[in-house]
Structure 1
Amino acid sequence: MISLVIAAVLLLIHMLVCLVLSTLVKLGMLPVRGHMLPAMVLVPLWGPLLLVLCARGEAFGDALEDGTLESLRLNDEIRRGMQVQVREGDAGVVPLEEALIVNDPSDRRRLMLSMLTEDPDAYLAQLQAAKLNDDVEVAHYAATAVAQISKESDLKLQQLERAFKTDPTAENLDAYCDYLGEYLASGLAEGRVEQIQRQQYARLLARRCEREDGAALRIRYATALADAGELDEAEAVITQLVAEVPDDQEAWMLCLRLAVTRRDGEAVQQVIDAIDNQHVYLSAENREKLAFWRDGGEAR
């Protein structure tokens, strides 16, 4: 008897809850579809609970969808604005070489001041070219900047050389040798000073080759010998390397360079034939170089 009473009370509560929820649905306060109402009535407890969860999901889902769409719209507007800003900022940008050669004096001087205030070392090649500019003021600024860079480079080179002579460790040797190579590649050294420094660079690389035996280092050593004008020594090093590593393209290209430097047409043809016979892989740049010296040939 008691269980029947409890069941009747629970059923009455269920019906009241269904009535309230149905009213809210009709008033539009619960955004659920009509086919959910029979399930709510026929499934006590879980039916009304499921209806409430669905209504919550619909409400939050719409809000989430609206928020997502709004976020995408804002991101798209920001992206478009950034693109327009970049295009507007690039409107006055011209290549450095063009600005130094073609543009009017105001552009050249503005560019020169910009290079001097930002990072002169990064524009060393452009500054060296600007030294020969027809604009006297631009040439003066460029020459002054190059002189200052050269002074600082010489000072650092002297410090590295002093450290190496005081403590000739492998670390000091590598630091001195690497910086000297960068210094020579920059074109700051000229005349007799350049020749002396190139000979010193070759000697440093020779000492490194005594400590470590790698193809890249030996090619670097042979190249330094060739740059210093010691062609016989460079040829001896590269000939041995080619025999040991016959598929190294940089070694073969150095052989070609030595033959060209000697103006030996027969040797040039022999190197080209050897590269063909060995089926040496060549990069696009090296193929172009080889094609230039090949009689009527095309780049492979």
Structure 2
Amino acid sequence: MISLVVATVLLLVHALVCLVLWTLMKLGLLPVRGHMLAVMVLVPLWGPLLVVLLIARSAVFGGDLKDATLEALRVNDDMHRSMLVQGREGDDGVVPLEEALIVNDPGDRRRLMLSMLTEDPDAYLAQLQAAKLNDDVEVAHYAATAVAQISKESDLKLQQLERAFKTDPSAHNLNTYCDYLGTYLASGLAEGRVAQIQRQQYARLLARRCEREEGLALRVRYATALADAGEVDEAEDVAERLVADTPDEQDVWMLCLRLAVLRHDGEMVQRVIDAVDKQHVYLSAENREKLAFWREGEEAR
């Protein structure tokens, strides 16, 4: 009961103070802006006190505080405007990695090689493989060592995925193993007889995936893997079924073109080109260039 009485008294005092301040504002004796009324009324006791403090500060400092603030803002703006963005002159010496390995001086080549080795060798695998043939013995040695290390790590991961798949031939393990093996073969790390064995394994894995799932891209990938493994006849069988099922797909016809080139069969190449023209197959810019290359080659004959 006592707390309720105290609260009521405080609210009445607050209302009285607000009324006094509002009256002074209306008479022009109190330089308070309209938006401060909400703060003064809705925040008991502290609202009117805040208004009084703002008025006191304004009375003491006057316009000096505003001028000082504006001056500080102007100085900061001038400082930011005076900051010069670093020019691109330093980029004049920047050249592609491949050119640096070929034409730059030995110091640049070795610094570049060390940079690739310390940053992320896997991301520069193609450049490292090219650097293995560099005339600079030191650069070639660094590159060969890095490629050997990457190959070792990739072989280890491939073995782990293969073991996991043999232990549990689930769809997840099959897809993971198959995708990594495809990436591994595309990197060029596998060579010689090992590469041939891995290509055959890759084709077998894709065959198992085709038994479990459908999809044009997967079947084209399977036929391509068969061709890479030297099983061109089997790849042609898959390609013929793809042509029958999806005669308007550009990937299918580019697969047929590739198989014809592998056969060294000029007549087959021309038949594929004629079929693409007859079917009015949509081709991407890259595939148009490939088709134009072989078309010009046949016309030259």
**Same fold judged by TM-score > 0.5?**
yes
For 1:297 and 1:64, locate their aligned partners in 2 and report how far apart those are by CA, in whole Å. Answer: 79
TM-score by length of 1: 0.73
**CA separation of 1:296 and 1:96: change in aligned 2, threshold 3 A:** closer
Residue 137 in structure 1 maps to residue 144 in structure 2? no
For 2:136 and 2:168, locate their aligned partners in 1 and report how far apart those are by CA, in whole Å. Answer: 48
The residue type equivalent to 1:98 in the other structure is E
Deviation at 1:92, TM superposition (A): 3.3
The residue aligned with 1:30 is none
For 1:66 and 1:215, locate their aligned partners in 2 and report how far apart those are by CA, in whole Å. Answer: 69
TM-score by length of 2: 0.73
User: Does the aligned pair in 1 maintain the 2:270–2:298 contact within 8 Å?
Assistant: no
User: Does the aligned pair in 2 maintain the 1:97–1:126 contact within 8 Å?
Assistant: yes
Residue 280 in structure 1 maps to residue 285 in structure 2? no
The residue type equivalent to 2:231 in the other structure is E
**CA separation of 1:185 and 1:17: change in aligned 2, threshold 3 A:** closer
The RMSD of aligned alpha carbons is 3.0
User: Does the aligned pair in 2 maintain the 1:291–1:297 contact within 8 Å?
Assistant: no
**CA separation of 1:71 and 1:155: change in aligned 2, threshold 3 A:** same
For 1:69 and 1:240, locate their aligned partners in 2 and report how far apart those are by CA, in whole Å. Answer: 75
**CA separation of 1:263 and 1:73: change in aligned 2, threshold 3 A:** farther
Cα offsets for 1:34-79 (capped at 9, x unmatched): xxxxxxxxxxxxxxxxxxxxxxxxx9x999999998777666555x
The residue type equivalent to 1:176 in the other structure is Y
Deviation at 1:171, TM superposition (A): 0.5
Deviation at 1:93, TM superposition (A): 1.9
Gaps of 5+ in 1: 1-12, 22-58
Deviation at 1:297, TM superposition (A): 8.7
Q: How does 1:217-296 map to 2 (within 5 A)?
A: 217-295=218-296
User: Does the aligned pair in 1 maintain the 2:182–2:202 contact within 8 Å?
Assistant: yes
The residue aligned with 1:92 is 93
Deviation at 1:243, TM superposition (A): 1.5
For 1:227 and 1:257, locate their aligned partners in 2 and report how far apart those are by CA, in whole Å. Answer: 11
The residue aligned with 1:28 is none
For 2:107 and 2:140, locate their aligned partners in 1 and report how far apart those are by CA, in whole Å. Answer: 14
For 1:255 and 1:65, locate their aligned partners in 2 and report how far apart those are by CA, in whole Å. Answer: 74
Deviation at 1:94, TM superposition (A): 1.6
Deviation at 1:250, TM superposition (A): 1.1
Q: How does 1:98-113 map to 2 (within 5 A)?
A: 98-113=99-114
For 1:162 and 1:91, locate their aligned partners in 2 and report how far apart those are by CA, in whole Å. Answer: 51
User: Does the aligned pair in 2 maintain the 1:226–1:234 contact within 8 Å?
Assistant: yes
What secondary structure sits across from 2:113 in the alignment? Answer: helix
Deviation at 1:91, TM superposition (A): 3.6
For 1:245 and 1:122, locate their aligned partners in 2 and report how far apart those are by CA, in whole Å. Answer: 37
Deviation at 1:156, TM superposition (A): 0.2
* Count of aligned pairs between the two proteins: 243
With 221-230 and 92-101 compared, the bigger mean Cα shift is at 92-101
The residue type equivalent to 2:227 in the other structure is A
User: Does the aligned pair in 2 maintain the 1:157–1:179 contact within 8 Å?
Assistant: yes
The residue type equivalent to 2:138 in the other structure is E
For 1:285 and 1:76, locate their aligned partners in 2 and report how far apart those are by CA, in whole Å. Answer: 47
Deviation at 1:223, TM superposition (A): 0.6
**CA separation of 1:64 and 1:257: change in aligned 2, threshold 3 A:** farther
Deviation at 1:295, TM superposition (A): 3.9
**CA separation of 1:296 and 1:267: change in aligned 2, threshold 3 A:** closer
The residue aligned with 2:207 is 206
The residue type equivalent to 2:165 in the other structure is F
For 1:74 and 1:247, locate their aligned partners in 2 and report how far apart those are by CA, in whole Å. Answer: 63
Gaps of 5+ in 2: 1-23, 32-62
**CA separation of 1:136 and 1:69: change in aligned 2, threshold 3 A:** same
The residue aligned with 1:187 is 188
What secondary structure sits across from 1:294 in the alignment? Answer: helix
